Amino acid sequence: MSPAAPLYEPANTLKPVAPGLWIVDGPIVRMATPVGGMPFPTRMTVARLADGDLWCHSPIAPDDGLFAAIDALGPVRHLVSPNKLHYAHIAAWKRRYQQATAWASPGVRERASSQRIAVDFDTDLAYAAEQAWAGELDQRHFRGSRAIEEVVFLHRASGTLILADLIENFEAARFGTAMRWIARLGGVLDPDGKMSLAMRFTFRERRTARACLQQMLAWQPQRVILAHGRCYLENAGTELARAFRWLA
């Protein structure tokens, strides 16, 4: 990997965020841009529920070392796709953990089919928290776009908000010059990360999106985990208000 886009080392390693909550930084994926592939760091979140079951948000490309670490943590019961862009590796996790439930986000089944990626989802995420984790994880659909919506989660015990693509916060030092400018123009460069400009344009129902934002703020999160870029480990409410000022 080029020094302009380093991994968040160590990769494929459980990193504690709070009691019962971990992140795992994964490999770089490249998204097409007019000047080449833009490097996206990947990140999954793992929560251990009160019964010991593991809840895995946006599973990354696994390796044997990560599987061994997960096995030592507890039984994997939930594989969660938070939106229709975060699903590609669920099939690999499902092959390993056949007893786990694969949860589909809105539009992800159609997306997987159009991309010819075989993923056997077991059931769909509802608007409110599923019975399997109600009381431990809150959830809501962030709506307002006809192109994409995301299911957001709050880990109650730690006050941690878990997002995928609603905010991207790429650090300039991890990009080459061209990609740095693309990230800046897209509004996703740290310290002013937010939803990408292209995705913001799809949110025509701003009132609906603002109501979703108010719900997230009402949760009063203490930190925000992002799938792409630097997370917000403090001042979560301030960062959310800043990142979503485009909804004003």
Instruction: Round to whole Å and give the CA distance between 228 and 169.
Output: 6
The answer to whether residues 115 and 84 touch, using CB atoms and an 8 Å cutoff, is no
Instruction: Round to whole Å and give the CA distance between 137 and 157.
Output: 9
Q: What is the pTM of this model?
A: 0.95
Query: What digits encode the pLDDT tens for the residues 32-65?
Result: 654 456 788 999 999 999 999 999 999 999 999 9
Q: Which two tokens stand for residue 91?
A: 């099939």
Asked if CATH classification 3.90.1010.10 holds for the domain at 14-247, the reply, yes or no, is no
31 sits in which H/E element: strand 29-33
The answer to whether residues 139 and 180 touch, using CB atoms and an 8 Å cutoff, is no
Domain borders along the chain are: 14-247
pLDDT of residue 32: 61
Name beta bridge partners: 225.
Answer: 162
Q: Which two tokens stand for residue 137?
A: 């994880």
Query: What digits encode the pLDDT tens for the residues 205-232?
Result: 999 999 999 999 999 999 999 999 999 9
Q: Which two tokens stand for residue 242?
A: 């800043």
